[in-house]
Structures are given as C-alpha cells and as structure tokens.
Amino acid sequence: MAVIILIGVYFSFIIIRGIKLPIFEIEHAASRIAQGDLDIDISYTSRDELGVLSDQVRELIRKLQMIIDDENKFLAQMASGDFTVDSTCENEYTGGFRPLLVSFRAIADKLNHTILQISESSAQVASGSDQVSSGAQALSQGATEQASSVEELAATINEISEKVRQNAEYARQANQMAGSVGSEMQESNQKMQEMIHAMNDISNCSDEISKIIKTIEDIAFQTNILALNAAVEAARAGSAGKGFAVVADEVRNLAGKSAEASKNTSALIENSLRAVENGTLIADETAESLLQTVKGVEEVAGIISQISEASSNQADAISQITMGIDQISSVVQTNSATAEESAAASEELSSQSQLMKDLVGRFRLRG
C-alpha cells in the first residue's frame, strides 16, 4: 500500500512538473510581451494542449514582430519624405490587425494628397506672386510717371490759373475804364446837347437881330425919303433953305450909311445863321455819333463785364480743378508707395513660396 502511495506521489510530481514548466515559460513570455519585449524564445514543444498553446504564442510573437517591423519601416520611410511606401507583409495583417494597415495607408494617402496640394499651391502662389510682383512694379513705375505728369499738369494749371486771374483783373480794370469812358461820353453828349441848345438860342437871337436890322433898313429908307423931301423943300425955299438943305443932305448921307451898314450887318448875320445852321447840323450829327458811341461803350462795358465775370468763374473753376489735381496727385503718390510695398511683399511671398516648393520637393509622392 505504501509503495502504491509513493508511486502515485512520484507520478503526481512528474505530471505537475510537466504542466508547471511550460505554463511558467508561457507566463514569462506573456509578461515580456506586456512589457514590449518581443525578443522571446519559447522552447516548449508538444502535441498536447500546452504544446498547441506554445505554438500559438510563438506565432503571435512572430506576427507582432513582423507587423511592428513593417510599421517601423513604413513610418521611417514616411519620415524620410517617401510617401510611396507600402507594406511588405500585407498578408500578416489579418483579423484585428487589418484596420491598422488600412489606417497607415490612409495616413500615407492623406499626407501624400495634402503635400501634393501644397506643392501645387506653392507653385501657383510662386507664379501668382511673380505676376503680382511684376504688376506691382509696373504699377509703381506707372504711378511714379503719373505722379510726375500730374505735377507737371498741376504746374501748368497753376500757370493757367494765374493767367486767368490776370485776365479777370484786366477785364475788371477794362470794365472800370469802359464805365468811366461811358460816363465821360454821356457827359460829353450832355455838353453837346447844351451846345446845340445854345446854338439854337443864337439862331433865335440872330432871327430877332435880322428883324431889328430890317426895321433899321426901313427907318433908313424912310429917313432917306424924308431927306429927299426936305431937300426938295429947301430948294423951293431958295437961299432961306440952304442951311436946311445941308442938314437934309447930311441926313440923307447918314441914312444911306445906315442902310449900307444894315445891309452889311444883315449879310454878316445871314452868314452867321448859315454857319450856325451848319454847326447845328454838325453838332446834331456829332451828338448822334456820340449817342451811338455811348451805346457802343455801354455794350462793350457789358461784354467786358461778362468777360470779367466769366474769367472770375473760370478762375474759381480752375482753383477747384487745381484742388482736385492736388488730391489726385496725393492719391497717385499713395498708390505709388502702396505699389512699391506690394512689389516688395510679392517678392517676399515669391521667395517664401519658392522655399515651400523646395521643401515639398524633398518628398517622394505618388502622382
């Protein structure tokens, strides 16, 4: 009985030892796997359940080593800029490992697509920035030339404005002078009218004098007749009438002289009347001419006044144009400065885009 017990204990010890050692080895391997150590070798082999478990653990370790090594290569090539990388052991990604391969491929594809877009965008930005830089430089040069032209135009307009102001001042002075001449012409016309009135008075007085001279001629004629009658009567009286005859003769002589003087005076007055009539006619014509001249001067004064007002309006308009051109000049100068800044910024952008393009060029990409 004791022998049987001893034999049972011996076989129990052997069985326990045969189970404990592989379990311990598998447990130790699982512990190292949990710590991230895959450099494990399980030596236990058998056809029993523990042997099958050992084989499965060895297969798991091999698969993990293959997948982790593949992922390291995958990531290392991506880190070096090669996005054409792919798995070298696709068949090992089975079961729950398959999504891991899909995710890695998706990451590579996304990064490849993103960097391709960045490359294309950087090329477009480089091309666009070059064009913008060229355009900005051309705009800057054009703005500079425009600023110069605007300055010349402003100087010309200022000169024109000064000339227009001078013309306005001259027109104002001419207007004042025309007004003064018009006043003087009106005054001269008034004087001429007064002279015509005086000449009419002289003509009227000459008519009165002619009447008086006619009366004197009649008196001289009657005196001459009376002297003749007195001489006849003195002749009849004989010696007694000699003295009276002498007086009658003197009276007759005086009457003849009076008649002669009245004739001469009448002739002079007639000549004076003709001269007065001619003078009146000339004065009338002169007065009419003066009146027309006054009207002409008034019209000229009106035209000069309009010219003066128009010149003043032109001067004001040119002043506004000058202000507008000054504003345009300021805007053009601002545009020129902005264009220069844009050109500098475009050149910097072109440099940065070229740098980006160079950086992207380091990557290997799938087309």
Q: Which residues lie closer than 8 Å to 280 by C-beta, 6 or more apart? A: 196, 199, 200, 203
Closest CA to 184 of 290, 326, 313: 290
Q: Are 253 and 344 contained in the same domain?
A: yes
Strand partners, 82: 364
Q: Are 139 and 47 contained in the same domain?
A: no
In this prediction, residue 241 has a pLDDT band, given cuts at 50, 70 and 90, of: low
In this prediction, residue 17 has a pLDDT band, given cuts at 50, 70 and 90, of: low
Whole-number pLDDT of residue 140 = 72
Residue 105 placed within a domain = no
Range(s) of the domain holding residue 7: 1-80
Residue 72 placed within a domain = yes
Residue 31 placed within a domain = yes
Q: Which residues lie closer than 8 Å to 129 by C-beta, 6 or more apart? A: 346, 347, 349, 350, 353
Residue pLDDT, tens place only, 246-256: 666 766 677 67
Residue 30 placed within a domain = yes
Q: What is 317-342 written as a DSSP string?
A: HHHHHHHHHHHHHHHHHHHHHHHHHH
Residue pLDDT, tens place only, 147-197: 777 778 778 877 887 777 787 777 777 777 777 776 776 777 777 677 777
Give me the CATH number covering residue 21.
1.10.287.130
Q: Are 127 and 37 contained in the same domain?
A: no
Q: Give the integer Cα–Cα distance in Å for 143 and 214.
A: 102
Residue 165 placed within a domain = yes
Q: Are 67 and 190 contained in the same domain?
A: no
| Token reading at 309 | 């007002």
Q: Are 163 and 215 contained in the same domain?
A: yes
Q: Are 62 and 133 contained in the same domain?
A: no
Q: Are 127 and 51 contained in the same domain?
A: no
Residue pLDDT, tens place only, 316-363: 887 788 788 778 878 777 877 787 777 777 777 777 777 777 776 666
Residue 106 placed within a domain = no
Give me the CATH number covering residue 225.
1.10.287.950
Q: Are 177 and 73 contained in the same domain?
A: no
Q: Which residues lie closer than 8 Å to 266 by C-beta, 6 or more apart? A: 210, 213, 214, 217
Closest CA to 179 of 85, 294, 72, 307: 294
Q: Give the integer Cα–Cα distance in Å for 326 and 336.
A: 15
The domain tally of the chain equals 2
Residue 86 placed within a domain = no
